[in-house]
Every structure is written in C-alpha cells, then in structure tokens.
C-alpha cells in the first residue's frame, strides 16, 4: 500500500500544505455560513465579526468548541448571548499570537479568534487548584512502540462492525479492548466489558475524561496510530460494561462532529503515536 512505500516524514511534508489550505477553506466556509444566516435574517451589516445577539450554525460551532476547552458550560444554542460573550472573553485572555502579542479580549469572534479557537495550540481554561481533573500519565522513555500513519478513509474499509480490537495507550503501554460500533467521520468505540472500561479509565487518570490521548490499535496484525477521546457520550449499544455511550477514536484525516472540521488536538496525538513528533 502507498503508506508503506512513502516514508512518514515525506508523507507529513506532502500533507502539511494541504492541511494549511484546508484550514483556510474551513474558515472561509464558516464565514460563508454566517453570511447565509445574515442573508436569511435580512441583516446587511455583515463585517466578518461574530458578536452579541447573532444566531446560527457558526455560533453553535463556536459554543461547542468553547465547551470542549472548558470555557462554556452550557448546551450550545446557536444564539450569541451574555454567557457566550463571557466565554469568548475568557478564552481570548488566555491566548497569544505566534509573535507573542496578546489577543484583544473584546468578546467578539473575528478571523483571528476563530483560527485560534479551532487550532491545536488553543489554550484550555485553567483548572482551579481545588479541582482534580484526570488526565493520566504522560509518555515514558520505556514506551517506544509506534504505529503506521493510515488515513481514516482507508481504515474505515477494514474495520468490522461489532468486532473487538486490541488497544494500547501510547504513553504507558497499557492494553485494553474496544468494540467498533460505527461512525462516519471517525470511529465510535465501546468497551466489551467492565474490565476493559476500568483499564480505559486507568489510562485517563482513573476516570472518564474529555482529554485526548495518543493510542495504537491493532488491525490485521499491524499497529495503527490513532487518538482517543476518553468520555462516553451519545448512542450506547453494549450493556453491562460500566460505560454509558461510546468514545470517539480518530485516525489521520478523521473529522469532528463539530461542522465536520479536522481536530488538531487529535491530529497532534496521531502524529506522536506514529513517531512523527
């Protein structure tokens, strides 16, 4: 297959330009959505800035991402009101540009803030000292196993619905199993047993967590680089496994439910698990 014929470094170099182009196209698409919303509502004052009292799909995407980064604590509504503005300000106060300059914290979302919000370098909300959020152990020098860099489009053709797959946490080498239960843009996985759920929770710090970890999955006798989000949600198909819902497993070029956007945090994990970092 092509992934074995081309070196990992060459593959990443060839795709980096495409990723940058895709990000620009995504940003353009997001502002197009906003333009359409304004066209429907009859507002002719579109200036490329998403701000107070605006509504639409783009606002819901912004709220969803802010919620993922722990700045927004409520269900996304698609309506930009006071709580969303406060969350945007809190986010902007914690970010800085590549030049080291601070970001203007005005509670509006322009192209600059939108780019930062959906980037892998987006700084999460600080964790209060009296709150213990599980994140699990980081990489140890003794863990050297890496996996192949395979695209989601090629992997999804090989995954078998209902089949149990062996997983390995890249950071610690801890092993457990997950069952493939579906997924269009990335894999949805569930634990086959309570014991596997306990091992999953162990690698995330002995609890379910919204953090993402680099992983390896064994498919057809080969390890494949991937990234796992550790908090169950959504549809639940396997009973009596101490997991209500499924967890999301990303491969290279998988996309998020949030506007079908690429997830830069998952991508960074996958590069790490493939030995690219």
pLDDT for the residue numbered 97: 87
pLDDT for the residue numbered 46: 44
Q: Provide the whole-model pTM.
A: 0.60
How many other CB atoms sit within 10 Å of the CB of residue 12?
16
pLDDT for the residue numbered 36: 45
**Per-residue pLDDT of the chain in tens (277 residues, 90 and over written 9):** 343 444 545 544 454 555 555 555 555 555 554 444 444 333 433 457 899 999 988 899 999 899 888 899 888 889 999 999 999 999 999 998 888 888 899 999 998 999 899 887 889 888 666 655 556 666 666 667 899 999 999 999 999 999 999 999 999 999 999 999 999 999 999 999 999 999 999 999 999 988 899 999 999 999 999 999 999 998 999 999 999 999 999 999 999 876 677 888 899 999 999 998 6
pLDDT for the residue numbered 263: 84
């Amino acid at each position: 297959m092509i992934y074995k014929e081309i070196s990992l470094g060459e593959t990443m170099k060839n795709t980096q330009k495409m990723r940058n182009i895709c990000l620009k196209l995504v940003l353009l698409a997001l502002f197009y959505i906003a333009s359409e919303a304004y066209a429907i509502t009859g507002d002719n004052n579109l200036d490329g800035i998403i701000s107070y009292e605006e509504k639409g799909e783009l606002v819901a995407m912004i709220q969803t991402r802010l919620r993922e980064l722990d700045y927004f604590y409520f269900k996304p509504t698609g309506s930009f009101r006071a709580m969303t503005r406060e969350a945007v300000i809190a986010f902007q106060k914690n970010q800085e540009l590549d030049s080291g300059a601070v970001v203007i914290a005005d509670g509006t979302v322009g192209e600059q803030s939108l780019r930062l919000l959906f980037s892998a370098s987006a700084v999460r909300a600080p964790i209060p000292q009296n709150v213990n959020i599980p994140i699990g152990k980081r990489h140890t020098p003794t863990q050297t196993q890496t996996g192949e860099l395979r695209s989601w489009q090629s992997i999804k053709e090989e995954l078998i619905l209902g089949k149990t797959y062996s997983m390995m946490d890249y950071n610690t080498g801890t092993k457990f199993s997950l069952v493939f239960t579906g997924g269009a843009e990335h894999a949805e996985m569930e634990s086959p047993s309570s014991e596997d759920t306990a091992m999953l929770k162990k690698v995330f710090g002995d609890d379910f967590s919204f953090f993402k970890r680099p992983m390896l999955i064994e498919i057809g006798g080969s390890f494949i680089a991937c990234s796992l989000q550790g908090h169950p949600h959504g549809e639940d198909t396997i009973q009596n496994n101490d997991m209500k819902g499924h967890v999301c497993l990303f491969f290279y070029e998988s996309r998020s439910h949030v506007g079908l956007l690429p997830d830069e945090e998952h991508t960074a994990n996958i590069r790490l698990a493939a030995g690219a970092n």
